[in-house]
Structure 1
């Protein structure tokens, strides 16, 4: 089949996905499965191969991610229920003071979102921004933009978030380098898109405060210590980092090397962190076993929906790869002289703008670019840099087809126009800064 036909199939598949999700109001999981079948048929795949490819895509995507997301959801829910997340946010505000509260909100969002889903982190932390706005009299825009920027930066670039973990596994990136480069992308991205942009845009846009009764104050005496709370959140990242660092100073095949590889694997690291949170925090606070079981069960419900959509995105990605659509479009971009790192950003950004979901944008970009870069045998560090470029592209230009756009508007009371001026610009700045960091890192590592 000609390259033009395959490229047309790729574009048509994404447009069909957009129509099904936005106009037909079909659930993303069902829409992705239908579009995957359509892409297979129109690209000329043998009929008996389409179902096998779909099964391969679902299993290959969720085989790794299901364990990580499920354990991470339980870990984050326990940290929330025990007050560890609240403690970090409150301490950040005390440390920075009211005059620099916008920086505190950005950093609190970045740290507290590490073990939490994007939506959960926003729900937990937004009340703190409201409380600070009432005390300081600041425009709410100046506080919520840094908060959302911190949460979004964590969700896009930092392990153990589902999107960066998904990218690291699908791109065969080194997890230690993914942590390092993720931090290099997330921190400057958050600072520029959050406190700096928030301060600027607050001079042009103003949000009203919601009624005071909706947002209770926190009882700080019942919260765990700041040091212990922060240590718990960073614990799985430290274990993964030890594996990467230790691998450079130990001999492969030795007992120490194998132990570092074992405890530094994301499965083991997050499982251990979950156990420490349960036995070292929840039980010590007096929670009974039934309550802990309820918390863990409740955490898995939203995780299940997220995993299904991610799995369906994996099916779409695999069909693009096996049908030849991905290689055709990827080669067309690179053949046009577009550098690999920039092509990663552009592909993810294009899919993001068209269909809205950052996760689907990541998976689609991986499916399109991997056939091009696999023969080049890039190192795990280089693949981590390319993953950051994809992550940056996957969050730019959020608009009406993105759930985050409406989530921001619902919590802040912003109109659609105000949301475009604040949230959409913030996401675009954050994604672009992060992707530039990834591009520079890729060049330095090449």
Structure 2
């Protein structure tokens, strides 16, 4: 199969995916599966290999992520139901004061979104932004931009979020380095795209007063302590970090080394955090076991849909790799003289703009660059830096084909034009800042 045909197959696949999702209104899972089959056929893959490749792509993606996302969904839901998320947000606001509430909203979004899906974190925290806007009579833009920037930074760069976890596993990155570089990308990115940009754009865009039906129903006296709440959210990250740091100071193969490797694996870290949340938080608050099980069950429903779409994105990625489309495109881009870190960002950003999903953009970019990266034998730290570059590219230039675009507009009452001026610019600044930090880190680690 010629290079031109393979490149046309890749471009046609993404355009078809865009048509099926946006115009034909087909569910993303079905659309991704159809496009994967089409890409396999038009790239000249043997017919008996297409279904096998699809199975490998689904299993390879979900074999790791299903456990992490399912446990993470339960963990986040329990933290919300027990008031731990509310406690952190309220304490941040009290600590910063009303004059610097926009910084408090950004930091609260960054921390509280760690155990939550993007959409869930927004739904849970938006009421606090509305309440502060009513109390301070401030422009709502100044508060919601930092909030969304914090949540988006957490979702794009910080473990144990599904997209960063997915990137770390698919890119064979070191999880400890992923946490460190993710923080280095997320914090400056959130501050620049959130409070600083929000303060600037609030002079040009004004949202109407928040509706009264978004009043938060929070009773501070019944909430768990701030120290316990923040410790619980950070608990799985500490375990993963201990593995990376401790393993460097203990003899490989020793009993302590094996235990550090065991408890620092994301599966075990999040499982332990989930158990502490169930018995140390919900149980201590007197929540009945039936209620806890009901919370855990309800948390798995949205997680299941997310996992299916992620799995289908993995199928598409695997078809691109096995059909030869990925290697051809990856080598063409790197052959143009672009540094590999910049190529990761551009590929991810291009797929993001065309089809909207950050997760699919991550997976597709991985499929395109891994054939180029693998022969170079980069270490886990370098792969973590490249993962940050891909994560940054996957959130830039959000527009009408992104669910987050409409979520922002729905909650703030912004028009499409206002959403482009606020949400889209915020996402682009955040992704670009994070990716630039990833590129600098990759250069320093090389």
Instruction: Pick the TM interval, shorter chain.
Output: over 0.9
Cα deviation digits, residues 98-157 of structure 1 (max 9, x gap): 000000000000000000000000000000000001111110000000000000000000
Cα deviation digits, residues 197-229 of structure 1 (max 9, x gap): 000000000001232233234210000000000
Change (3 A) 1:293 1:9: same
C-alpha distance in 1 between matches for 2:217 and 2:158: 29
Q: What SS does structure 2 have at the residue aligned with 1:365?
A: helix
Q: What SS does structure 2 have at the residue aligned with 1:31?
A: helix
Residue 23 of structure 1 pairs with residue 23 of structure 2 = yes
In the alignment, which residue of structure 1 is the partner of 2:220? 220
C-alpha distance in 2 between matches for 1:184 and 1:19: 37
Offset, 1:5: 1.1
Match runs of 1:249-260 below 5 Å = 249-260=249-260
Listed as ranges, the gaps of 5+ residues in structure 2 are none
Residue 344 of structure 1 pairs with residue 344 of structure 2 = yes
Offset, 1:248: 0.6
**Could you state the TM-score of these two structures normalised by the residue count of structure 2?**
1.00
Match runs of 1:3-402 below 5 Å = 3-402=3-402
Cα deviation digits, residues 225-273 of structure 1 (max 9, x gap): 0000000000000000000001110011000000000000000000000
Decide which moves more: 326-335 or 1-10: 1-10
Q: What SS does structure 1 have at the residue aligned with 2:398?
A: coil
C-alpha distance in 2 between matches for 1:219 and 1:13: 51
C-alpha distance in 2 between matches for 1:366 and 1:12: 19
> What do you get for the CA RMSD once the two structures are aligned?
0.5
C-alpha distance in 2 between matches for 1:184 and 1:202: 26
Please list every run of at least 4 consecutive aligned residues from structure 1 whose deviation after the TM superposition is greater than 2 angstroms: none
Cα deviation digits, residues 30-66 of structure 1 (max 9, x gap): 0000000000001000000000000000000000000
For the 8 Å contact 2:133–2:210, the answer to whether it is kept is: no
For the 8 Å contact 2:130–2:214, the answer to whether it is kept is: no
Q: What SS does structure 1 have at the residue aligned with 2:401?
A: coil
C-alpha distance in 2 between matches for 1:169 and 1:3: 29
Decide which moves more: 318-327 or 3-12: 3-12
Residue 406 of structure 1 pairs with residue 406 of structure 2 = yes
For the 8 Å contact 2:41–2:47, the answer to whether it is kept is: yes
**Could you state the TM-score of these two structures normalised by the residue count of structure 1?**
1.00
Decide which moves more: 145-154 or 203-212: 203-212
Cα deviation digits, residues 293-312 of structure 1 (max 9, x gap): 00000000000000000000
C-alpha distance in 1 between matches for 2:411 and 2:138: 17
Q: What SS does structure 2 have at the residue aligned with 1:172?
A: coil
Listed as ranges, the gaps of 5+ residues in structure 1 are none
C-alpha distance in 2 between matches for 1:315 and 1:253: 36
C-alpha distance in 2 between matches for 1:207 and 1:238: 39
Cα deviation digits, residues 289-340 of structure 1 (max 9, x gap): 1000000000000000000000000000000000000000000000010110
C-alpha distance in 1 between matches for 2:179 and 2:92: 22
Report how many aligned residue pairs link the two structures.
446
C-alpha distance in 2 between matches for 1:45 and 1:114: 40
C-alpha distance in 2 between matches for 1:4 and 1:194: 42
Q: What SS does structure 2 have at the residue aligned with 1:397?
A: coil
In the alignment, which residue of structure 2 is the partner of 1:437? 437
